[in-house]
Chain A
Amino acid sequence: MILGQVVGSVVSTQKDKNLVGKKLLIVKAIDLEGNFLESFVVAVDIVGVGSGEKVLVVSGSSARQTDQTRDQAVDSVIVAKVDSYSFDKS
């Protein structure tokens, strides 16, 4: 999983029928200090997060291992809202 921060959302009317009703959010990757990295993804939100929140994003075929995304056209999913994390810099 990668750490990211929700920076926006995507509105799409014409889309695959499996994506109807799914919340699509723009998540920008962050490093452990909280600085934004270059990369970002559009991810399906299955837990209900808001703008500016730190989240965990699962990518690839693992993203289809949830009830909401199984066998659907999804490759990035927000699976958790991060409360806090700790790490050793060295």
Chain B
Amino acid sequence: MYYAKVIGNVVATIKYKGLAGKKLQVIQPVNLKTGEKTGRPLVAVDTTDAGAGDFVGFEDGLEATWPFEGNDVPSDATIVSIIEKVNVYR
């Protein structure tokens, strides 16, 4: 799972049927400790109810399809948690 900040959303009417009704968010991966941006923003399917500004955890790769029972959701990035607080001890 990776750490990112929700910075926006995407509207797409024409899409694969498995993605119908799914929320698409623009996320910026960030460093867990410092909050600095790491890498380029990407678009992720949202299984939570995250909004802009929220810090979230997301899965990438084939694991991104696991939250969806059945296998008809082509997603390579899926938001699976909203993160309230991070404790880094060292």
Which residues in A have some Cβ–Cβ distance to B below 8 Å? 1-3, 31-32, 37, 46-49, 56, 58-67, 69, 77, 79-88
Contact = CB atoms under 8 A, between A and B. Distances in A.
Contacts of A59: 76
Given A79-B19, A88-B7, A65 B72 contact: yes
B71 to A, nearest CB: 5
A78 to B, nearest CB: 9
Contacts of A46: 16
Binding site secondary structure of chain A: mixed
Given A2-B43, A32-B41, A61 B16 contact: no
A31 B42 CA distance: 9
B79 to A, nearest CB: 12
B74 to A, nearest CB: 4
B86 interface: no
A62 B75 contact: yes
B56 interface: no
A60 B41 contact: no
